[in-house]
A and B are shown apart, each in its own frame.
Chain A
Amino acid sequence: MSATTSLLGGPAFPQTRLRLPRHLDLFGSRDEVCRALNELARLALVQQIPVLLEFDDVVSVKGSGLLALAAVIQTARHLQGADHVNGTYPRDKNVERALQDAGFFRLLEIDHRRAGHGPTPWVEHITGNQTDGAQVELLKERVFGCDAGLKPASLGLIYIGLTEAMTNVIQHAYSMSDLARPRVLFVENRWWITGNVDRSRRVFTFSICDLGIGIPKTIGAKLNVRDVLRFLQYNNVKKVDDADLLRFALLVGESSTDLPWRGRGLPQMRQVVDLIGGRIRICSGHATAQYSSSGIITEPHDIPHVGTTIEWTVPLDHVLERHDR
């Protein structure tokens, strides 16, 4: 496109252009976002072709979509070199501001012009390849501010949910059991987490992302097979798809296994949802799933997600001290 402006002032060598979907919303526009992420991973990571991401048409963003995109960009730049993935400025100034606040320009190692009006709810993500509780406190300060009064019990629940999710990624997500998967994607057990407050809906949301083999394959590789079979028999499932396996992953904390080291990230988040409300949404493999007080809703999809993204939404008024609401 002639109207595009490279973030870095123009590529030094030919790049393949990849147009991003209008709505970078992993759950609202799931298939479009997954298709773009898969294509970016295929080009930049597997085929090692430099990519110019076209943000021109993006008109809205959500935390989970931004985070998954940041994960693939960061991985490609880490493995293939800093100029391997580049991008264009969005036409929409508020989207540009959101990308700035979410740390995309820092991720792409460039200075940025000011754009858009007013604050956006986005903050720069944290990332790591270890379970690092100190990073949760850093994210809390970015999301709520240094002086925000979170109820200690609520902060404890958030801390537990996020650190257990980190541990789960490190122990399970990058299993080498999926031999069909390009080995380049098995990177350092890395997780990415971001959060944002939506004051109009009175909720805050954490998004957790990895580029691992996906929850459905992890279940087959790591969990107690007898539990999976018992669950499937109980639910009268004849032909198993990824949606069934995501449902199992959300319910596994209710079953007893012989292994004390079963994944505990999701059950711990689910306990918080049971206790104070909110919801969990998962995009992994060929499926999405949602857990809330209304139960579990799953949906199979043809297009797979490049890893796993979990979105954990909690009511704001349950976690903030009264004077900070």
Chain B
Amino acid sequence: MNTLASTDVYVAKEFSRYPAGRFTTDGPNSGQRFRDGLLIPSMERAARVRVHLDSVLGYGSSFLEEAFGGLVRDKGFSAADLRKKLDLISSDESLIKEIWQYIDEESERLSKPRRL
């Protein structure tokens, strides 16, 4: 049950200035570790999570896709759920668009019938 109306996640301060890699087996600051260790616990304790993305060296698509697309693929969130739940904050607008693109692509991919 949510106990807070909202909370903040600062990637550079609370996770790493060097986010990189997809799975925990790829490296210490992977998208999977960020998602499971920081993002989801924050989402569980608050109705809305503001994710502050600035002050890191960069975000590769492997990291972003696993951290955010993985919320849909592995954790069962819908894109609509996530739009209500996440507030992405960055000085780089294209980064925010890229993250929503991964979430929407994964939702769309899962909504298609699976090929044999």
Contacts and interface: CB of A to CB of B under 8 A. Distances in A.
B21 A163 contact: yes
Contacts of B27: 130-133, 166-167, 170
A133 B30 CA distance: 10
A131 B26 contact: yes
Contact of A164 (B16, B61, B69): B61
B21 A137 contact: no
B62 A132 contact: no
Contacts of A132: 18, 20, 27-28
B37 interface: no
B109 A163 contact: no
A264 B106 CA distance: 17
A167 B21 contact: yes
Interface of A is mostly: helix
Interface residues of A, number: 23
Given A130-B26, A155-B58, A170-B26, A163 B20 contact: yes
A260 interface: yes
Interface of B is mostly: loop
Interface in B14-32: 16-23, 25-30
Given A134-B18, A260-B105, A264-B62, A171 B73 contact: no
Contact of A167 (B18, B20, B58, B109): B20
Interface string B18-59: 111111011111100000000000000000000000000111
Contacts of A130: 21, 26-28
A90 B28 CA distance: 40
Contact of A157 (B22, B58, B62, B63): B58
Interface residues of B, number: 29
A170 B21 contact: yes
Interface in B78-116: 102, 105-106, 109, 115
Interface in A99-154: 130-134, 136-137
Given A130-B27, A159-B58, A167-B60, A260 B69 contact: yes
Nearest to B95: A156
Contacts of B109: 258, 260
A313 to B, nearest CB: 19
B104 to A, nearest CB: 12
Contacts of A137: 18, 57
A160 interface: yes
Contacts of B26: 130-131, 166-167, 170-171
A260 B29 contact: no
16 contacts: A130-B27, A132-B18, A132-B20, A133-B29, A136-B18, A137-B18, A137-B57, A156-B58, A157-B58, A164-B20, A167-B21, A167-B27, A170-B21, A258-B109, A258-B115, A268-B61
Top 5 A-B residue pairs of the complex, sorted by shortest distance between their CB atoms: A133-B18, A131-B21, A131-B27, A163-B20, A156-B58
Given A163-B60, A163-B63, 10 more contacts: A131-B29, A132-B27, A133-B19, A137-B18, A163-B21, A164-B60, A167-B21, A167-B27, A170-B21, A260-B105
